[in-house]
């Protein structure tokens, strides 16, 4: 890959845009065959990894999940319900998300930045993790995101609503590596736009404290308080799950006491499924709760 001068992480997006922009103007960029071959080998390995079954694996604490909401983690580790597996669209999403993340690293190197320590194993307080990489010596997590999620990286608001625990991941990797100026390099899956978000030190967490709190929480016989409270659905008096809860695999078990003990009621709206925790007024759309009888 080209090495014009020593690069700094904070310019990675503009440097990638500059190189790719030249390609868009018809200018050829020389790339060594060995780098193209390495990219091809990564893609081959990504496909092999994807073909390895993921469903029904024994749940365990990892650096990739240690920052998730506490109640969700409790159910991850303690739920007696058997996993229903991962549906086909989600599996496809995993594949192209992984591929896109490698594309970002290829572009990073193409723009003259150094990429090292890919998938390096780290261990903090007994919790294992594998960091994505370092770019120019700083820990960086590569993320592929929907347009909605991408805005958190672009606008620097991730710490305000970090439902997947990304900040904890970064904090753990930086603690292990003794660095503190890393961040997230995200790609918008819908537009191809890139964003670099390097959080302020005050937004990061003490990873040892977090691990200790999580261990204490999941060892309890009862789950902690709700991650997100139900929110009003219009002015009818109905309440629905918060957006963040709709994606959780434990939503039916977690909210089994709603609707006077009957659990969540599911309605098919034109814009998608609506999970109601309280029905004061019957919606004028089809109820499909029975399809989710087993959660």
- Show the DSSP H helices in the chain as ranges: 12-24, 33-50, 70-78, 88-110, 147-154, 166-177, 207-218, 243-246, 251-254, 258-261
According to the model, what pLDDT value does residue 83 have?
Answer: 58
According to the model, what pLDDT value does residue 54 have?
Answer: 62
Domain residue extents for the chain: 9-214, 231-292
- Show the DSSP H helices in 51-189 as ranges: 70-78, 88-110, 147-154, 166-177
Distance of CA 102 to the CA centre of its chain: 15
Tell whether domain 9-214 is in CATH 1.10.3470.
no
The residue count of the chain comes to 295
Cα 81-82-86 angle, rounded to 5 deg: 125
How many C-beta atoms surround the C-beta of residue 137 within 10 A?
14
Q: What is the DSSP letter of 165?
A: -
pTM over 0.85: yes
CA separation for the pair 94, 111 (Å, rounded):
26
249 CB-near residues (< 8 Å, 6+ apart): 83, 84
CA separation for the pair 196, 10 (Å, rounded):
7
Contact 220, 78 (CB under 8 A): no
According to the model, what pLDDT value does residue 35 have?
Answer: 83
CA separation for the pair 72, 78 (Å, rounded):
10
Binned average pLDDT, 10 residues per bin, the chain of 295 residues? 70 96 90 87 86 72 95 93 72 89 93 94 96 97 95 96 94 96 96 97 95 97 96 95 93 96 96 96 94 70
């Amino acid at each position: 890959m080209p090495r014009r001068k020593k690069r700094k992480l904070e310019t990675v997006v503009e440097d990638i845009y500059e190189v790719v922009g030249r390609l868009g103007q018809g200018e050829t960029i020389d790339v060594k065959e060995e780098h193209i071959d390495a990219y091809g080998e990564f893609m081959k390995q990504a496909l092999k990894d994807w073909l390895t079954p993921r469903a029904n694996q024994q749940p365990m604490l990892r650096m990739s999940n240690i920052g998730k909401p506490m109640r969700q983690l409790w159910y991850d580790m303690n739920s007696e319900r058997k996993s229903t597996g991962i549906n086909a669209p989600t599996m496809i999403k995993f594949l192209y998300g992984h591929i896109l993340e490698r594309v970002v690293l290829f572009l990073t190197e193409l723009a003259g930045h150094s990429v090292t320590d890919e998938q390096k194993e780290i261990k903090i307080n007994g919790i294992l993790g594998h960091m994505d990489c370092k770019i120019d010596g700083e820990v960086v997590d590569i993320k592929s995101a929907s347009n909605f999620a991408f805005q958190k990286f672009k606008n620097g608001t991730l710490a305000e609503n970090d439902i997947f625990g990304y900040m904890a991941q970064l904090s753990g990797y930086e603690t292990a590596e003794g660095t503190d100026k890393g961040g997230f390099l995200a790609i918008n899956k819908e537009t191809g736009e890139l964003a670099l978000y390097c959080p302020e030190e005050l937004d990061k967490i003490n990873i040892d404290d977090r691990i200790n709190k999580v261990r204490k929480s999941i060892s309890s016989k009862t789950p902690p308080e709700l991650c997100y409270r139900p929110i009003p659905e219009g002015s009818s008096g109905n309440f629905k799950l918060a957006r963040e809860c709709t994606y959780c695999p434990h939503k039916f078990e977690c909210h089994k006491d709603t609707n006077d003990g009957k659990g969540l009621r599911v309605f098919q709206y034109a814009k998608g499924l609506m999970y109601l925790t309280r029905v004061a007024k019957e919606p004028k759309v089809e109820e499909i709760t029975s399809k989710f009888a087993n959660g």
